[in-house]
């Protein structure tokens, strides 16, 4: 065995071999199974792209129709899941609600027949079908309303917006939302996908796999950044304040939300597409008050931090698109989770094909052979600190 150096955050360390997606961070290229993200955004749909990611090739017309049919059929939630959700506090974060609900699915479909293709297909369909219903149901319930039942005559994206607002969405809005889902569906080995793979490697059920990935996506350094971007734009408040805000961040060495990426050193290709989607929405429904601030901030960051490779990532413009679609700020990350479920499931399936449990190692930095001291002889930490103060 060869020993390699410790790299914080596993930077640059391969943890798997994968044929699902490819990123070239220097040239701003993202491909799913070899297809460019630009082409998929333009010609494909989220469900077709999910099929591609999970089963490895684009579906035929019949295969896609069957997949879409299965997903429509499984969109509803068991009433016990809805009852469980009614007990959640309205003030709780929707990502926590989603994590609990995803894990709860395992109570109902708990067989771990991981070598049975029918079980795998069922789990894929159930998770893709029910996660949007859970997100929309929590939104309705926390407002004191009954959840809106899914509608079989609406496609995946339109149905989600319908369940969220109890109103059939404008076709352009539904199409743009579908593209957003495609853009967020997969992104090589990021933190939540790695989390899904580690959980998958123990051969636990797929609901546990997705629940652990949801928990990882929630953090502000990962999926939670899209929500933070809007809070930041709110705080900046006007174009005149952009430079001062940036000065302050640079001086305090704090991160500017929606910028920077472990892999991309140029503008994230998804951010380019999202910005153009935002502009299409603004043309039809009016400009978002924060858009000009966002563009000014992007320009200022490029001038000051561009040489360090700090450019907008996927989270920078997505929030502005979601706001225009009537999605509340704290649902941005759950919406990311709806999309990324496709990628997590693709990696779950890939992991099962050649599984070995993840069991990395560490570089131990603690003490060794410490003699055990009886409790009555031990000083408290406070006592020790006091003693150090007294003795200087
Ligand atoms: N604002 C200012 N400086 C930054 C930023 C930023 N957003 N991101 C990185 N840097 C600087 C950082 O200060 C460091 O500079 P120096 O070398 O002088 O100390 C250098 O760039 C490398 O940063 P790092 O934190 O070591 O990079 P990382 O690869 O560990 O972190 C990141 C990547 C995405 C966590 C980080 O860029 C960040 O915290 N960005 C803000 C949060 C964000 O937008 N997250 C969404 C990520 S993309 C989608 C997703 O994963 O969900």
pLDDT confidence tier of residue 224, bands split at 50, 70 and 90: confident
Q: Residue 375: inside a domain, yes or no?
A: no
Which tens digit of pLDDT belongs to each residue from 254-274?
999 999 999 999 999 999 999
Whichever domain contains 306, its CATH number is 1.10.230.10
Say whether both 307 and 202 belong to one domain.
no
The conformation of residue 368, written as its DSSP 8-state character, comes to -
Q: Residue 61: inside a domain, yes or no?
A: yes
Total number of domains in the chain: 2
Rounded CA gap, 169 and 157, in Å? 9
Q: Residue 382: inside a domain, yes or no?
A: no
pLDDT value of position 339: 98
Residue nearest to atom 10 of ligand 1 (CA): 260
Say whether both 181 and 243 belong to one domain.
no
Say whether both 216 and 106 belong to one domain.
yes
Residue 75: CB partners within 8 Å, gap ≥ 6? 129, 130, 132, 133, 150, 159
Say whether both 51 and 165 belong to one domain.
yes
pLDDT confidence tier of residue 109, bands split at 50, 70 and 90: confident
Please work out whether the CB of residue 9 comes within 6 Å of at least one atom of ligand 1: yes
The DSSP annotation for 32-60 comes to: ETTEEHHHHHHH--HHHHHHHHHHSSPPP
Say whether both 148 and 31 belong to one domain.
yes
Q: Please report, rounded to a whole number, the percentage of residues in the chain having pLDDT higher than 70.
A: 99
Question: Would you say residue 350 has pLDDT above 60?
Answer: yes
Picking from 271, 300, 322, the residue at the C-terminal end of a domain is 322
How many angstroms does the Cα of residue 102 sit away from the middle of ligand 1? 29
Q: Residue 14: inside a domain, yes or no?
A: no
Rounded CA gap, 16 and 36, in Å? 22
Say how many CA atoms lie within 13 Å of 107 toward its Cβ. Answer: 9
Please work out whether the CB of residue 257 comes within 6 Å of at least one atom of ligand 1: yes
Say whether both 270 and 197 belong to one domain.
no
Question: Would you say residue 1 has pLDDT above 60?
Answer: no
For the annotated catalytic residues, the residue numbers are 261, 315
Please work out whether the CB of residue 242 comes within 6 Å of at least one atom of ligand 1: no
For residues 136-150, give the mean pLDDT. 96
pLDDT value of position 342: 98
Rounded CA gap, 132 and 31, in Å? 25
First to last CA, the chain: 48
Rounded CA gap, 118 and 114, in Å? 9
CA nearest to 184, candidates 225, 149, 212, 152? 225
Q: Are 193 and 211 in contact (CB under 8 A)?
A: no
Would you state the structure tokens that stand for residue 237, as one six-digit string? 């408040």
Between these two residues, 374 and 384, which has the higher pLDDT value?
374
For residues 357-385, give the mean pLDDT. 90
Please work out whether the CB of residue 339 comes within 6 Å of at least one atom of ligand 1: no
Say whether both 48 and 87 belong to one domain.
yes
Q: Are 135 and 334 in contact (CB under 8 A)?
A: yes
Say whether both 73 and 91 belong to one domain.
yes
Q: Residue 17: inside a domain, yes or no?
A: no
- What element of type H or E holds 24? strand 21-24
Domain interval for residue 153: 23-224+328-353
For residues 336-346, give the mean pLDDT. 98
Say whether both 246 and 265 belong to one domain.
yes
Q: Residue 196: inside a domain, yes or no?
A: yes
Question: Would you say residue 2 has pLDDT above 70?
Answer: no
Would you state the structure tokens that stand for residue 27, as one six-digit string? 């040239």
Would you state the structure tokens that stand for residue 162, as one six-digit string? 């319908």
Rounded CA gap, 37 and 30, in Å? 6
For residues 114-130, give the mean pLDDT. 95
For residues 38-65, give the mean pLDDT. 98
How many angstroms does the Cα of residue 261 sit away from the middle of ligand 1? 6
Rounded CA gap, 270 and 30, in Å? 8
Q: Residue 18: inside a domain, yes or no?
A: no
pLDDT value of position 238: 96
Say whether both 250 and 121 belong to one domain.
no
Say whether both 216 and 335 belong to one domain.
yes
For residues 98-106, give the mean pLDDT. 96
Say whether both 201 and 293 belong to one domain.
no
For residues 311-335, give the mean pLDDT. 96
How many angstroms does the Cα of residue 254 sit away from the middle of ligand 1? 9
Whichever domain contains 217, its CATH number is 1.10.580.10
Residue 357: CB partners within 8 Å, gap ≥ 6? 201, 202
Q: How many CB atoms lie within 10 A of CB 144?
A: 7
Q: Residue 349: inside a domain, yes or no?
A: yes
pLDDT confidence tier of residue 151, bands split at 50, 70 and 90: very high
Question: Would you say residue 286 has pLDDT above 90?
Answer: yes
């Amino acid at each position: 065995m060869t020993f390699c150096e410790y790299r914080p955050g596993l930077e640059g360390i391969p943890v798997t071999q994968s044929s699902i997606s490819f990123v070239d961070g220097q040239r701003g290229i993202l491909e799913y199974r070899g297809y460019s993200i630009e082409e998929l955004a333009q010609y494909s749909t989220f469900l077709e792209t999910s099929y591609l990611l999970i089963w490895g090739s684009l579906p035929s017309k019949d295969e896609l129709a069957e997949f879409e049919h299965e997903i429509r059929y499984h969109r509803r939630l068991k009433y016990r899941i809805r009852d469980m959700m009614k007990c959640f506090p309205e003030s709780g974060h929707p990502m926590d609600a989603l994590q609990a609900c995803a894990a709860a699915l395992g109570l109902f479909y708990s067989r771990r027949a991981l070598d049975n293709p029918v079980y795998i297909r069922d789990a894929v369909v159930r998770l893709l079908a029910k996660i949007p219903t859970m997100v929309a149901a929590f939104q309705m319930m926390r407002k004191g309303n009954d959840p809106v039942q899914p509608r079989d005559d609406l496609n995946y994206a339109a149905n989600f917006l319908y369940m969220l607002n109890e109103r059939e969405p404008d076709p352009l809005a539904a199409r743009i939302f579908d593209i957003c889902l495609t853009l967020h569906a997969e992104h090589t080995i990021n933190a939540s996908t790695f989390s899904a793979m580690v959980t998958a490697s123990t051969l636990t059920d797929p609901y546990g796999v997705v629940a652990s990935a949801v928990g990882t996506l929630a953090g502000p350094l990962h999926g939670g950044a899209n929500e933070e971007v809007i809070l930041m734009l709110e705080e900046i408040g006007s174009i005149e304040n952009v430079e001062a805000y940036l000065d302050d961040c640079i001086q305090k060495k704090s991160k500017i939300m929606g910028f920077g990426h472990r892999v991309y050193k140029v503008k994230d290709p998804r951010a380019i597409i999202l910005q153009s989607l935002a502009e299409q929405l603004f043309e039809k429904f009016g400009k978002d008050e924060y858009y000009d601030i966002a563009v000014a901030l992007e320009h200022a960051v490029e001038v000051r931090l561009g040489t360090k490779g700090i450019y907008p990532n996927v989270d920078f413009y997505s929030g502005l698109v979601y706001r225009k679609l009537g999605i509340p700020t704290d649902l941005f990350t759950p919406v990311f989770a709806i999309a990324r479920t496709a990628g997590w499931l693709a990696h779950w399936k890939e992991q099962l094909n050649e599984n070995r449990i993840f069991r990395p190692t560490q570089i131990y930095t603690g003490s060794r052979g410490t003699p055990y001291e009886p409790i009555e002889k031990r000083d408290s930490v406070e006592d020790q600190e006091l003693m150090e103060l007294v003795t200087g």
